[in-house]
Amino acid sequence: MASLDTASLIARVPVEALVSSASPLDEAPRLRAAIGLRPSLLVKRDDALAFGFGGNKVRKAGYLVAQARAAGADTLITCGGVQSNHARVTAAAAAVAGMGCLIVANGEPPPRPTANALLDVLLGAEIRYVARREDREPAMDEAARELTARGRRPFVVPLGASTPRGALGLVAAVGELLDQLGGRPAPDVIVHASSSGGTQAGLIAGCHLHALATRVVGISADEPAGILTRRIVDLLAGIAAELGLPRDRFDGQAVHVDDTFVGEGYGLPTDASREAAHLAARREALFVDHTYTAKALAGLIAYARAGRFDAARTVLFWHTGGQVGLFA
Ligand SMILES: *Cc1c(COP(=O)(O)O)cnc(C)c1O
């Protein structure tokens, strides 16, 4: 009855429903054959979550909007790169919640906004540009002070919405996956792109609460494995607290982060991510981006070729989105 318990624990936390249906769960037999994978290959299509062009950030946004509402907020403030998927989803969530949205973006203001930056404008978000990553937090604090002085009630959504509350969206997603699987066995391994840690922490917690032996492997988009692992461990303690469980509930859960697919850096393609993007598109009509999902898929392909999945029956690629970035 672990599943029911998990569902009722999460059901106590307020969430704004942004999507009315589960993301698809697809088989990827042609990609599987192309990479010589022995186990079956499933893809959890969060790229096709039916809200604001989708992606994993949709799962977190529902919880953060509800939290902001409960705090009496009327404006969401968040940050990211100019092409942040998280900022776009936050702007979309604010729009349907009837809230304002202010985005602090690090990078050059684009002469003509494209992709996520274009959607931010269409969604009505105010965008402030700062030069460097480390300028983002002070700029968000300043914006919050400014809005407060004008009588508004801002709520700051931290980078990637990777708070324990936001990560609950991914805890719930494990239940969604199990419902879709029906009686079929859970995947032995889940591979996904990892960056601010909320997705991985939520999936690990969700698998544990559902008593699954599933190994969750996060392929880092930028951070060194040690730093990301520590963040995930902290988030796991926070997730336990959000669910009313002892903070040490997830202690001892293995955290697998692989930072060897980053290449030259965040957002820069590698030979392996190019191959992954071509294979995904040409075999399955799936689109992956070079910041996150193509590198994660490159990791899955490398593991498959190295025989690291040979003992598994089912491998699942959790597609976290990012396709909008292809139009940047
Ligand atoms: C943000 C993002 C990730 C990483 O998720 P985290 O919860 O920040 O680790 C992966 N893929 C895509 C497409 C993203 O936008």
Active-site positions read: 84
What CATH code would you report for 3-55+162-327? 3.40.50.1100
Q: Distance, CA 117 to ligand 1 centroid (Å)? A: 17
Kindly list the domain boundaries of the chain, sorted by start residue.
3-55+162-327, 60-161
The strand order across the sheet containing 154-156 reads: 126-130, 100-106, 75-81, 154-156
Q: Is 322 in the pocket of ligand 1 (CB under 6 A)?
A: yes
Q: Is 83 in the pocket of ligand 1 (CB under 6 A)?
A: no
Which pLDDT band, with edges at 50, 70 and 90, does 280 fall under?
very high
pLDDT digits (tens, 9 = 90+) for 24-70: 999 999 999 999 999 999 999 999 999 999 999 999 999 999 999 99
pTM assigned to the model: 0.97
- Answer CATH for 60-161 from 1.10.357.140, 3.40.630.30, 3.40.50.1100, 1.10.10.10: 3.40.50.1100
Considering Cα of 268, then 272, then 278, then 282, what sign does the dihedral take?
negative
pLDDT digits (tens, 9 = 90+) for 132-184: 999 999 999 999 999 999 999 999 999 999 999 999 999 999 999 999 999 89
34: which residues sit within 8 A by CB, 6+ positions away? 279, 283
pLDDT of residue 4: 55
Q: Is 134 helix (H, G, I), strand (E, B) or coil?
A: helix
Backbone φ/ψ region at 98: left (φ over 0), alpha (ψ -120 to 50), beta? left
Q: Is 59 in the pocket of ligand 1 (CB under 6 A)?
A: no
Average pLDDT over residues 103-114: 96
Q: Distance, CA 78 to ligand 1 centroid (Å)? A: 15
Q: Are 32 and 40 in contact (CB under 8 A)?
A: yes
